[in-house]
Structure formats: C-alpha cells, structure tokens
Amino acid sequence: MKKTTSGFTLIELLVTIAIIAILASMLAPAAGRMAQKANSTKCASNLRQIGASVMLYSQDNDNRFPAIESMPSDPVYDSGGDGQPKKPILETLSPYGVTKSLLQCPADIRGPNYFAKEGSSYQWRNIVDDEIASAPKVYGRRGTRNPKSTWLLLLTDYENVHNGHGNRLYADGHVVAQ
C-alpha cells in the first residue's frame, strides 16, 4: 500500500502569503486613519476640559479671561500692566484643574512637539487676554468690535497636526475638532 502525505505545495503557500499581504495593505490605511481620529478626539477632549478651567478662572476673576503668555520661548509680554511677566498656561490654570497631560496633544507629541518647547501643545490667543468673558472686545484696524463668543478663538493647536487640520476651542466653550 502506498503511503500518502498531505501538505501544502510551495505554490499554495506563496499564494496564501500573497493574499494575506494584499489584505494587510488594504487595512493599513484604515488603521492609520483610526489612529489619527483617536488622537484628534483625545485633543478635543483636552480642549474641552481646558475650556471648563478657563470658565472657572473667569468666575473667580471678575468675569475676565486670563492673561497667558502664549509662547514662553519667545514672550509676547515683557511684563504685564502690574509689572509682572505673564505666566504660561499651566501655571495660570493649574489651580483650576489643568495638568501637564491636558496640555499634551498626542499628534503634537509625535510630531513637532510644541509641548517640549512651549509647555503646551496648544497656543493661547492673546487677543482675549484680560477681556471680559461675557462681552470680550477685539481691537483692530476697523476699531473695537464685540464678536460673538461662538466666533472668538481662545486656544488652538500650534500647528495643523491633525491631518492638515487643527482643533480649536472657542470662548463659549465649544470645540471644533478636525
């Protein structure tokens, strides 16, 4: 009696490996998009929590937004009206629940890493410094304006690290995530 062995031929193994490689290459871009979306969602959550801290700050400070140094490595302010330099965002808002981890955008940490340079992945918009939170004024070439809080930016990503887009926190507390 003849003994038969069962097994795969070399051709069958190569075809199977090729099919698996093709399927993996089709799934890789989807996995990358999911990771980018997760980073953007985490970043938007950070901004919402920072927005809540800004509102708490304003309640404790005569309904005024904080005055924050947006770029500590290249200060905008030499000193404030009180003769003191403005503080970075962590130092200003830490009594209101802002932590180092809230100031870290996952996409920024893996990319340009403004957190390491500036202490935050997010840039404070100096245009709102010490303005009344319920009725901020914006000064410009066309004079003084009172923009709606839904239009006034408080905080943005330093760069458009989310697939060419950036997340933004507005004065009314809503976040636009890209």
Residue 81 confidence (pLDDT): 57
Residue 70 confidence (pLDDT): 85
Number of domains in the chain: 1
Residue 84 confidence (pLDDT): 66
Q: Is 131 among the domain residues?
A: yes
pTM of structure: 0.77
95 in Cβ contact with 102 (< 8 Å): no
Residue 160 CB contacts under 8 Å (≥ 6 apart), including other chains: 166, 178
Give the E-state strand segments of the chain in sequence order: 122-124, 138-140, 143-145, 153-157, 168-170, 175-176
Show pLDDT as tens, one digit a residue, over the chain (178 residues): 666 667 778 898 899 999 999 988 888 888 878 888 888 889 999 999 999 999 999 999 999 999 999 888 888 776 555 556 789 999 999 999 999 999 999 888 888 899 999 999 999 988 888 888 888 887 778 888 887 877 888 999 888 787 778 889 999 889 998 7
Residue 79 confidence (pLDDT): 56
Domain of residue 149 covers: 37-176
Q: Is 107 among the domain residues?
A: yes
d(CA 128, CA 136): 7
Residue 163 confidence (pLDDT): 76
Residue 82 confidence (pLDDT): 59
Q: Is 26 among the domain residues?
A: no
Q: Is 25 among the domain residues?
A: no
Burial of residue 163, with CB atoms counted within 10 A of its CB: 0-12 exposed, 13-18 middle, 19 or more buried? middle
Query: Strand, coil or helix: what is 125?
Result: coil
Q: Is 162 among the domain residues?
A: yes
Q: Is 30 among the domain residues?
A: no
Burial of residue 29, with CB atoms counted within 10 A of its CB: 0-12 exposed, 13-18 middle, 19 or more buried? exposed
